[in-house]
Chain A
Amino acid sequence: EAQVTQNPRYLITVTGKKLTVTCSQNMNHEYMSWYRQDPGLGLRQIYYSMNVEVTDKGDVPEGYKVSRKEKRNFPLILESPSPNQTSLYSCASSFIGTGELFFGEGSRLTVL
């Protein structure tokens, strides 16, 4: 089954404790991206990647890192999480040029 898989789906952590949210897709998509979704603000792009080893900043990259060492994986790293990073995080992928993003189920992160 074609899908984008995120882990963990739910996480409660404390300020400053590094964490990684993994994202994996099995559709051989070139494009992958991360979003945070907050009430009243909609989806905001954090980082995107056009292919392996090619990443670029989106709208709200501060406090986040990404890497794209393999085509299928695009982890989101929070080196020192803070409470304002409490959010629903969504990973998405697509073939370049189609406009059709496939989203994962989302990862709800709470930073205390």
Chain B
Amino acid sequence: QKEVEQDPGPLSVPEGAIVSLNCTYSNSAFQYFMWYRQYSRKGPELLMYTYSSGNKEDGRFTAQVDKSSKYISLFIRDSQPSDSATYLCAMSASSTLGRLYFGRGTQLTVWP
């Protein structure tokens, strides 16, 4: 079993939709959770960084962590065509990152 599971999609939604992206994990030691966005032929860029359980909001993006269920989510409100990209979850047991585990990535297309 992989440490981090993420449905690769693809996911296709109309502009303005609410998008929900999810990852599950098996290692209860993970405490630091990240979401990265990767445009085609580019390196990933950090979207959200959260510690432990709870919610974090940044503009149209909300990250949720449920450690009891070993489940993290990224919600995108009012999705735009410019949100079309691959979204990768990542997690670590340490604040120094060290060993870092990524999901496979979910490919999202937002059509106008």
CA distance A94 to B74 in the complex (A): 22
- From residue A106, how far is it (CB to closest CB) to chain B in Å? 6
| Residues 86-112 of chain A, each 1 if its beta carbon lies under 8 Å from chain B, else 0 | 000010101011111111111000000
A24 at the interface (CB under 8 A from B): no
Query: Is B17's beta carbon under 8 Å from chain A?
Result: no
B108 within 8 A of A: no
Q: Are B97 and A96 in contact (CB under 8 A)?
A: yes
Check B59 for interface membership: any CB of A closer than 8 A: no
Known: A40-B104, A41-B104, A42-B104. Is A104-B97 also a contact (CB below 8 A)? no
Kindly identify which residue among B6, B43, B99 contacts A48, using a CB–CB cutoff of 8 Å.
Answer: B99
The interface size bin for chain B is 20 to 34
Q: Is the CB of B8 within 8 A of A58?
A: no
Closest to B92 in A: A99
27 contacts between A and B (CB under 8 A): A33-B97, A33-B100, A42-B102, A42-B104, A43-B44, A43-B90, A44-B102, A45-B99, A45-B100, A48-B97, A48-B98, A50-B96, A90-B44, A94-B97, A96-B95, A97-B95, A99-B32, A99-B46, A99-B49, A100-B46, A101-B36, A101-B46, A101-B100, A102-B43, A104-B43, A105-B43, A106-B43
Residues of A bordering B, CB below 8 Å: 4, 31, 33, 35, 40-45, 48, 50, 56, 58-59, 90, 92, 94, 96-106
13 further contact pairs, Cβ within 8 A, besides A48-B99, A58-B99, A58-B100: A31-B96, A41-B104, A42-B6, A42-B102, A44-B102, A45-B100, A45-B101, A45-B102, A96-B97, A99-B49, A99-B97, A101-B44, A105-B42
